[in-house]
Amino acid sequence: MPVQILQNIALIITIAAFYNILPQLTYEKSLRMTILNGLLFGLTAILAMSAPFTATKGIIYDGRSIVMALAGVFSDPTSAIMAGIIASLFRVFAIGGSGSIPGVLTIAGSVAIGILVRSRNKNHGLKLSFPVLLLTGFAVHIFMILAQFALPNQAWKIVIPSILPTVLTLYPLGFAVTSLFFLENKKHIAEHFQLKESEARYRSIFQNRHTVMVISEPGTGQIIDVNPAAEEFYGWPRAKMLDMQLSDIRVQEAPAIEVGEAESKTPFSPSKSRNRLSSGEVRDVEVFSGPIEYFGKRAIFSIVHDTTSRVEAERTIQQMNQTLEQKVRERTVELEETNGELKAFAYSVSHDLRAPLRAIEGFSSLLKENIGGHLEQREQHYLERITYNSKKMDCLIDDLLRFSRVSSQPIAFSLVDLSGMAGVIIEDLRLADPDRQASVSIQEGMTAYADEALIGIVLSNLLGNAWKFTAKTADATIRFQCEPVNNGEREGEKVFSISDNGIGFDMAYADKLFSPFQRLHTEAEFPGTGIGLSLVRRILSRHGGRIWVQAAPDQGAQFFFTLGGNNVDNPA
């Protein structure tokens, strides 16, 4: 009898060893493995039942309770139940006899207790220590003893005493020891798989097709391993590269994939260099090197970035910058020259053009004084025209000078009260022309960052124009207001407008309006030199602003202007 029990236990140990050979059984989770597990435990149970210790005919005792309990604890519940069914079918149909009912009960009980312990372990942190396993063994086998009460004809009376000592000593012990064996195996298998997984992970990183990686020997620079990206980049097959040294791909003295130094340097500090490819082409690279352990030896691990296009782009940018700087210098010189010429021109205009004018005016005045009384009306008129035109030319020269000054003088920004300024200008216009009836409305509180003197010129010109060109209009109305742009790219920008209901003009001539000395009306209709609006546009553009106009003949004109970036309602 003890020989048979030992046989049984040996069988169980065999299955444990089998587990060691097929490590996937406990590690891999798939339907295939679940079925395989179930079969394995089921078949082991069958084997166990095939070498039984026979109490009397039809009543056999064997290690199936241990196998079933192990299946419950160490394989997943589905496998365990499957094994249980296999074992039960075998017990009932292959062996049969009066022990069938307690036999099946024992199988079911063992599986159930095993699953219970497994679930306590998985879900409640019950540690599978030796005492716990021993207790589990006892529980399984106490259940087995109790199952014997199901034997017909009170056979338990004979059976229980005969099996009790073995079943309650050797069996639980066998279960506990085998369990330990399983546990140990399980641990090793898990470690083995984790190691394999982590290796595979790192290998897949190394096998990366985009990042060039090279492993080399410290000191000699002998290449130990390269990845496919390196093969692709350098253009040599891996086998060839393993015969090469770093010096074969490095172009200059400067450290590329540095051989000895990498160890002393901060790990993976980048260095710049140039590498030669199999094609002979030389590429700019940035190399990150650091020490690693490679198959138990110290090695240098290097990641190589091809920076050729970046370096070339940087070089191009540098060249472009130099060219640009050179151009800027040249243009500055040209501009300074032009500016100087302009200044000289303005100076000469103010001096040299005025002198002959003064002579013309002076002598014609003298002529008129001396002989004016004796002149015919027509001759008198001639003299008057000379005087008038001299004065006119004087005004033109003044305007021209003002225009050139506006173009060259620096802009001094400050917060200007445009509403107040416009009010003063209108007051002056009323004073100069007290008989004029005009309704003027100026929106209150308009301000802007601008050059006070220059914006004064803008407002006096625009308001002056509105005043002038409504002279012949009944119910003349002049309006000065401001509205911020409420959508688009220029949202928030203040747009000022000065509108009148005067004689207006045909929009076909609008482009002429802002050019110096261009006029849309005759001198007799409306006096002026035609410099005003060009001056206005020049000033606004120097502020970074714009001016545009909407008009129609006899329907007035509306001038819109902006004062550039500093004048946005919501300067975030």
Q: Which residues bind other proteins (CB under 8 A)?
A: 346-347, 350-352, 354-359, 361-363, 365-366, 390-391, 394, 401
Our CB check for other proteins shows the closer of 352 and 569 to be 352
| Structure tokens given for 60 | 């056999």
Query: Measured from the CB of residue 487, what is the shortest distance to other proteins in angstroms?
Result: 44
Contacts of 447 (CB under 8 A, 6+ apart): 415, 416, 417, 418, 419
Our CB check for other proteins shows the closer of 130 and 347 to be 347
- C-alpha 180/C-alpha 157 separation (Å) is 34
Our CB check for other proteins shows the closer of 100 and 390 to be 390
Query: Measured from the CB of residue 376, what is the shortest distance to other proteins in angstroms?
Result: 22
Query: Measured from the CB of residue 351, what is the shortest distance to other proteins in angstroms?
Result: 5
| 405-to-344, 345, 352, 535 alpha-carbon distances in Å | 12, 12, 18, 10
- C-alpha 352/C-alpha 338 separation (Å) is 20
How far from chain centre, in Å, is Cα 322?
A: 32
| Structure tokens given for 392 | 């006119």
Query: Measured from the CB of residue 531, what is the shortest distance to other proteins in angstroms?
Result: 16
- C-alpha 343/C-alpha 246 separation (Å) is 67
| Structure tokens given for 542 | 């120097």
Our CB check for other proteins shows the closer of 386 and 507 to be 386
Query: Measured from the CB of residue 316, what is the shortest distance to other proteins in angstroms?
Result: 46
Our CB check for other proteins shows the closer of 391 and 490 to be 391
Contacts of 503 (CB under 8 A, 6+ apart): 469, 470, 472, 473, 521, 553, 554, 556
Helix axes 418-432, 452-469, angle to 10 degrees: 50
Query: Measured from the CB of residue 399, what is the shortest distance to other proteins in angstroms?
Result: 13
Our CB check for other proteins shows the closer of 303 and 357 to be 357
- Any alpha helices (H) in 260-353, and if so which ranges? 261-264, 308-348
Query: Measured from the CB of residue 383, what is the shortest distance to other proteins in angstroms?
Result: 12
Query: Measured from the CB of residue 409, what is the shortest distance to other proteins in angstroms?
Result: 9
Our CB check for other proteins shows the closer of 328 and 359 to be 359
- C-alpha 36/C-alpha 82 separation (Å) is 10
Cα end-to-end distance, the chain, whole Å = 96
Our CB check for other proteins shows the closer of 120 and 354 to be 354
